Amino acid sequence: MGESLNGLKRTIMCGEIREKHIGDRVVVMGWVQRKRNLGGLVFIDLRDREGILQVVFGEEINKDAFNKADLAKSEYCIAVSGNLVKRESPNPNMPTGMVELKGEEIKILSESETPPIYIKENLDAAESIRLKYRYLDLRRPDMQRIFKIRHKTTKIIRDFMDGEDFLEMETPILTKSTPEGARDYLVPSRNYNGKFYALPQSPQLFKQLLMVSGYDKYFQIAKCFRDEDLRANRQPEFTQVDMEMSFVEENDVIELNERLIKRVFKEMADVEVKLPIERMTWKTAMEKYGSDKPDLRFGMEINDISEEVKASDFKVFKSALEDGGSVRAVKASNSADMPRKKIDKLGEFVKTYKAKGLAWIALKEDGIKSPIAKFLKEEELKAIIDKVQGKTGDLILIVADKNSVVFQALGALRLELAKELEILKDNKEFRFVWITEFPLLSYNEEEGRFQAEHHPFTMPMDEDIQYLESDPGRVRAKAYDIVLNGEELGGGSVRIHDTALQEKMFKVLGFTKESAWERFSFLLEAFKFGPPPHAGLAYGLDRLIMFLAGTENIKDVITFPKNQNAFCPLTEAPNVVDENQLCELGIRFENNKE
C-alpha cells in the first residue's frame, strides 16, 4: 500500500520548525522514528533531513487520522497536515522541542518492514550489515550530517576557486595509464580487442596539458582510481581536489592554498587558522618527529644523542655509529614508573619498524634505572639526560640504528606513546604544517636505481640542480605537502617545464630516451610547444571531510563505499557478466585461475 501525494504539498521541513511557527498550519513529510500509543493519543516522532518533530494524533483531534496513525510503524513514510501548537511537556534538548503538531490528516505514503539496523546516531552495528543496507545506514542522522558537510565543503572550495579565477575542467576517466606507479584499473575496449583504457590515478598529465594549453588556472574535484590492496582508509575510488597554476612558483601555490584552508576551516569548523601556516623542511621533520607528516599537537621530539655516546663501548651504539647510523632518543614525561611489561611491549613495537631493540633510562625518584646503565660511563649517562633535558619522573627511550630505521621507529614510537599516555585526549586543535624540500629521488635498493619520490615531472630546487647527476640522493625537490594533525591532507610540486632538464631527470631515473618517450610521449611532445612554468597541488577530499566530520573511517564519508576486498555488499559489484559481453570484448578467463 502506498498513497499518492495527489497534489498535497509539503510546506516546511520537520527539523526547521521552531516556537515562532506555533499557530501555523503545516504539511510535513518524513519517516516514523518512533510511535507510541499512550491512552488514546498516538505520538509519532517524525524525522526528515532537517530533524525530528513530535506529532500527536487523538480521537478528539481527528478520529480517522488517529486510527490511521496508529497503523504506522517505525520507518513508515508518511505525510501529516495540521496545526502547530505549544508542546505541553517541552523537550529543551530538541531544536523543535517547544512545539508539536496536532495531526488532522495523515497519508501513509509507504510502509516499512522492520529495518535490520537501528536508524539512530552512533550505531554500533557490523560494517558488513551497514554496507549491505547502506540506504538505511545513510538514513541515520550522523551520516546525513556528514554528507551535508561534504556538500558544503565542496561548495566552499568551488566558490573560492571560482573567486580566484580558476576554471573547473573535467578530464577523461577512460584514458591511458598515468605514471603514478600504482596499479591501474583497466577497461577492455570493444573496438580494439586486446587493448585497454585505464582509469586515472589522478588527472596529473591532463592538468599539465591544460597548462600547456594556456588555461592558466585549473581545478577539478576529480574521481581517481587505484587497484591497490586496500588498507583501513583506502578505497578503490576516491576524490581529489586537484589544481594547477601557470606562471607561479612554490610560494604562490602555498599562499593561495593557505587562504583556501583558512576559509574552509573557518566556515566548516569555526576555527581561525593563523596564516602563514608553519613551514618545516623534510629534513627537520624527519629529525625531530621521525615522519614527513609530523603531528605537532604535542612535543616529545626526537633528540640526537650520537655525540653524547660516540665514545661509548656499548656495542649496540657503537656499531650503529660505525655503520653511519645514529643514536636517538625520545623522552616521555612522568613515565619513569611505566611497568616493565609496557616498556617491553614498546620494544616489540619498535621492532615492527625494523629497529633491533629499544633501550631505556628511567629517572625515578629513587635514582636512575636502566638496563644499559652498566654499559655507559656515568658522564655519558649524564650527557644523555642533559641532552634530552631529562628530569625526575621522565622515561628516556633510545634507538640506535641506521638513520632511516631510527627515524621510522622513533617517529612511530612517539605517536604510540602519545596514544598510550592519552596526550591528545580531548584535543580539538587543527595543527597544520607545510613540509617542504622533500628529497627529489629515493634509491630503490631492489631495482638498484633512483626513483622519483613525487613524480618524474617534479622540479629540483635551483641550488641542487648541479648535483642531479653527481649525487642524485642529495637533490631536494620543489615539492610541498600540507599536513594536518599528523596526516597528509594534500601535496604538490612545481613541475619541470624545461625539456633539457626533463631529459636529464629521465636519465637519472634510468629511462632511455626511447623508454621515456614511450611512457610519457604526449606530455613530452606537448612540452615542445612553449610550456609555461607551472605548479599544482591536490588534496584528498575524503580525508579532508573525515577531519571536518570527526570520523576516522573513510567509509563514513563516501555514499556507497566498497569493503576491504573492493566489494560492494549492497550492489554485489563486481559481478559476473553475460557471456556475449565477454565475447564482444574477445575475453576469456584462465582456467587454472580462481
Q: Is 71 in the site for its own copies (CB under 8 A)?
A: no
d(CA 358, CA 406): 10
- Pairing between strand 217-225 and 167-168? parallel
Q: Between 320 and 535, whose beta carbon lies closer to its own copies? A: 535
Residue 488 labelled as part of a binding site = yes
Rounded least distance, CB 474 to its own copies, Å: 20
Q: Is 80 in the site for its own copies (CB under 8 A)?
A: no
Among residues 445, 483, 547, the alpha carbon closest in space to that of 292 is found at: 483
CA 214 to chain centre: 32
Residue 145 labelled as part of a binding site = no
Cβ atoms of 518 and 474 closer than 8 Å: no
* 1-9, 37-45, 388-396, 431-439 -> range binding its own copies (CB under 8 A): 1-9
**Binders in 232-291 for its own copies, by CB under 8 A:** 236-237, 239, 246-249, 252
Q: Is 444 in the site for its own copies (CB under 8 A)?
A: no
DSSP 324: T
Residues 21, 34, 223, 504: which binds its own copies (CB under 8 A)?
A: 223
Q: DSSP 3-state assignment of 562? A: coil
Residue 190 labelled as part of a binding site = no
Residue 58 labelled as part of a binding site = no
**Binders in 545-564 for its own copies, by CB under 8 A:** 558-560, 562
Annotate 44-69 with b (16+ C-beta within 10 A) or e (fewer).
bbbbbebbbbbbbbbeebbeebbebb
* 55-63, 207-215, 278-286, 392-400 -> range binding its own copies (CB under 8 A): 207-215
Cβ atoms of 234 and 212 closer than 8 Å: no
d(CA 257, CA 271): 16
* 138-146, 322-330, 374-382, 428-436 -> range binding its own copies (CB under 8 A): 138-146
Residues 83, 213, 403, 427: which binds its own copies (CB under 8 A)?
A: 213
Rounded least distance, CB 242 to its own copies, Å: 13
DSSP 215: -
* Cα Dmax for the chain: 94
Cβ atoms of 475 and 460 closer than 8 Å: yes
d(CA 442, CA 421): 35
Residues 57, 160, 225, 450: which binds its own copies (CB under 8 A)?
A: 225
Rounded least distance, CB 111 to its own copies, Å: 7
**Binders in 305-344 for its own copies, by CB under 8 A:** none
Cβ atoms of 554 and 235 closer than 8 Å: yes
Binding mask 467-506 for its own copies (x = CB under 8 A): ------------------------------xxxxx-----
Q: Between 116 and 473, whose beta carbon lies closer to its own copies? A: 116
**Binders in 15-34 for its own copies, by CB under 8 A:** 29-32
What is each CA distance from 14 to 24, 25, 30, 49, 115, in whole angstroms?
A: 13, 13, 8, 8, 22
Residue 150 labelled as part of a binding site = no
Residue 542 labelled as part of a binding site = yes
What are the cell numbers at 277? Answer: 601556516
Residue 455 labelled as part of a binding site = no
Rounded least distance, CB 55 to its own copies, Å: 16
Residues 95, 188, 357, 393: which binds its own copies (CB under 8 A)?
A: 188
Residue 585 labelled as part of a binding site = no
Residues 52, 79, 305, 516: which binds its own copies (CB under 8 A)?
A: 79
Residues 357, 403, 532, 551: which binds its own copies (CB under 8 A)?
A: 532
Task: Say if residue 302 is exposed, middle or buried (CB neighbours under 10 Å; 0-12, 13-18, 19+).
Answer: buried
Residues 77, 94, 271, 524: which binds its own copies (CB under 8 A)?
A: 77
d(CA 475, CA 495): 15
**Binders in 370-429 for its own copies, by CB under 8 A:** none
Among residues 88, 83, 77, the alpha carbon closest in space to that of 101 is found at: 83
How does DSSP assign 466-516, residue by residue?
A: GGTTT-GGG-BBSEEEEEETTEEEEEEEEBP--HHHHHHHHHHTT--HHHH
Residue 301 labelled as part of a binding site = no
Q: Is 179 in the site for its own copies (CB under 8 A)?
A: no
C-alpha torsion sign, points 172, 173, 177, 179: positive
Rounded least distance, CB 254 to its own copies, Å: 14
d(CA 112, CA 259): 48
d(CA 72, CA 66): 10
* 203-211, 308-316, 415-423, 429-437 -> range binding its own copies (CB under 8 A): 203-211
Rounded least distance, CB 501 to its own copies, Å: 7
Rounded least distance, CB 281 to its own copies, Å: 20
What is each CA distance from 308 to 74, 377, 379, 441, in whole angstroms?
A: 70, 11, 9, 32
Residue 2 labelled as part of a binding site = no
Amino acid at 466: Q
d(CA 470, CA 203): 33
**Binders in 48-67 for its own copies, by CB under 8 A:** 48-49
Rounded least distance, CB 410 to its own copies, Å: 36
Q: Is 174 in the site for its own copies (CB under 8 A)?
A: yes
Residue 227 labelled as part of a binding site = yes
Q: Between 177 and 442, whose beta carbon lies closer to its own copies? A: 177
Rounded least distance, CB 437 to its own copies, Å: 17
Cβ atoms of 346 and 335 closer than 8 Å: no
Residue 252 labelled as part of a binding site = no
Q: Is 565 in the site for its own copies (CB under 8 A)?
A: yes
Residues 171, 326, 408, 458: which binds its own copies (CB under 8 A)?
A: 171
Please report where in the chains the cell 617542504 appears, as a residue. 436
Q: Is 110 in the site for its own copies (CB under 8 A)?
A: yes
Q: Between 23 and 194, whose beta carbon lies closer to its own copies? A: 194
Among residues 445, 444, 324, 345, the alpha carbon closest in space to that of 397 is found at: 345
Q: DSSP 3-state assignment of 522? A: helix
Binding-site residue set for L-aspartate? 180, 226, 454, 495
Binding-site residue set for ATP? 226-228, 235, 488, 540-543
Binding-site residue set? 180, 226-228, 235, 454, 488, 495, 540-543
